[in-house]
């Protein structure tokens, strides 16, 4: 049977998730809660109701369509949704012709996703690109992730797995035969700070990174530079010390924080906790990259 997975987005012509031009498939489900997250619709393995106020034309159709009467207007005219009682039936989203309501997440088969992936095979060949499976945490759906990566590999398409690595190592063993490149996020070297910022400590992540870094699959490590969380020389020096002993690491990327995901938290009816964060200046990111000077792997920022 064709394996099915819960997918919330497929981005074609992506140039930030591995080498060359790629198609990035984003899977639902994540076991971290980074407060600056730019893909908050990935948190749950199931669907989510998104509301885009800027698209709403105020027709009021959803007020009558919802069988539970969960849409209402506040005294100030604000459109409210009682999400605590929402069954995600989709009735409101289906008939909102303005596109102001949508269910994020859809069960898709490997073959269905592969139709989109193989459409750009020529671009992959010419640019050294391929397929990246991302999330969320793709290893929360290991069967689907493995089957999708395996299908791409069978067709000669380069494969990358983008993971936060907070899963049992057995999940990696399930998919590694189908992976050409691992993209591993490393948020913060201090476990207590990591827990404050993401909801979990980093022990399992570091242990997985150590094991994978001594394996045969090439690894690119990606550190998001988050002001006040990990943007210190001490954090980068600790990361550099760890990576130096890991021969599979080929590249380190420092990815400066950006606020592009802020609106999505609101669309989900959540509060964005990183509202006060500012993108770090380029010069500061370059200073942090300099901590890795002399590394045997490539450093990019």
In the list 15, 68, 192, 290, the residue contacting ligand SF4 (rule: CB under 6 A) is 68
In the list 10, 45, 56, 255, the residue contacting ligand SF4 (rule: CB under 6 A) is 56
Does 299 bind ligand SF4 (CB under 6 A)? Our answer is no
Task: Quote the CA–CA distance of 32 and 218 in Å, as a whole number.
Answer: 24
Tokens 């698209």 correspond to 55
Measured from the CB atom, the residue of 70 and 133 that comes closer to ligand SF4 is 70
Start-end of H helices in 87-214 = 91-94, 110-118, 121-127, 142-154, 169-175, 191-198, 203-213
Does 86 bind ligand SF4 (CB under 6 A)? Our answer is yes
Does 50 bind ligand SF4 (CB under 6 A)? Our answer is no
Give φ, ψ of 119 to 5 degrees. -60, -25
Start-end of H helices in the chain = 61-65, 91-94, 110-118, 121-127, 142-154, 169-175, 191-198, 203-213, 233-244, 262-267, 282-290
Residues that bind ligand SF4 (rule: CB under 6 A) add up to a total of 24
Does 92 bind ligand SF4 (CB under 6 A)? Our answer is yes
**Conformation bin of residue 60: beta by default, left when phi > 0, alpha when psi is -120 to 50:** left
CB 268, min distance to ligand SF4, A:
13
In the list 34, 66, 165, 236, the residue contacting ligand SF4 (rule: CB under 6 A) is 66
Measured from the CB atom, the residue of 72 and 273 that comes closer to ligand SF4 is 72
Q: Find the binding residues for ligand SF4 in span 98-157 (CB under 6 A).
A: 98, 100-101
CB 265, min distance to ligand SF4, A:
18
CB 107, min distance to ligand SF4, A:
17
Q: Considering only CA atoms, which of 115, 182, 124 is closest in space to residue 157?
A: 124
Task: Report CA Rg, the chain.
Answer: 20
Task: Quote the CA–CA distance of 204 and 185 in Å, as a whole number.
Answer: 13
Does 96 bind ligand SF4 (CB under 6 A)? Our answer is yes
In the list 45, 88, 206, 255, the residue contacting ligand SF4 (rule: CB under 6 A) is 88
Does 15 bind ligand SF4 (CB under 6 A)? Our answer is no
In the list 10, 45, 81, 206, the residue contacting ligand SF4 (rule: CB under 6 A) is 81
Task: Quote the CA–CA distance of 52 and 264 in Å, as a whole number.
Answer: 9
Contact 33, 198 (CB under 8 A): yes
Residues of this chain that interact with ligand SF4 (CB under 6 A) are 49, 56-62, 65-66, 68, 70, 81, 86-92, 96, 98, 100-101
């Amino acid at each position: 049977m064709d394996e099915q997975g819960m997918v919330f987005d497929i981005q074609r012509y992506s140039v930030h998730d591995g080498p060359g031009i790629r198609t990035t498939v984003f899977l639902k489900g994540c076991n971290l809660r980074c407060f600056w997250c730019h893909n908050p619709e990935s948190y749950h393995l199931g669907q989510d109701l998104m509301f885009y106020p800027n698209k709403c034309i105020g027709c009021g159709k959803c007020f009558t369509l919802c069988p539970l009467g969960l849409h209402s207007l506040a005294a100030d005219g604000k459109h409210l949704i009682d999400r605590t009682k929402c069954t995600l039936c989709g009735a409101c989203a289906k008939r909102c012709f303005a596109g102001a309501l949508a269910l994020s997440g859809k069960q898709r088969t490997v073959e269905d996703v592969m139709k989109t992936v193989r459409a750009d095979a020529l671009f992959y060949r010419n640019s050294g690109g391929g397929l990246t499976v991302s999330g969320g945490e793709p290893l929360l759906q290991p069967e689907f992730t493995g089957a999708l990566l395996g299908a791409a590999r069978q067709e000669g398409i380069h494969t990358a797995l983008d993971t936060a690595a907070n899963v049992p190592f057995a999940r990696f063993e399930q998919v590694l035969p189908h992976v050409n490149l691992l993209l591993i996020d490393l948020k913060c070297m201090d476990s207590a700070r990591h827990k404050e910022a993401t909801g979990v400590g980093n022990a399992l992540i570091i242990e997985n990174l150590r094991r994978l870094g001594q394996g045969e699959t090439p690894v690119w490590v990606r550190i998001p530079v988050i002001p006040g969380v990990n943007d210190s020389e001490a954090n980068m020096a600790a990361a550099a010390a760890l990576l130096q002993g890991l021969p599979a690491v080929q590249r380190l990327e420092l990815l400066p924080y950006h606020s592009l995901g802020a609106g999505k938290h609101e669309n989900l009816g959540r509060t964005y906790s990183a509202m006060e964060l500012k993108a770090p200046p380029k010069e500061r990111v370059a200073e942090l990259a300099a901590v890795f000077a002399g590394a045997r792997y490539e450093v990019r920022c």
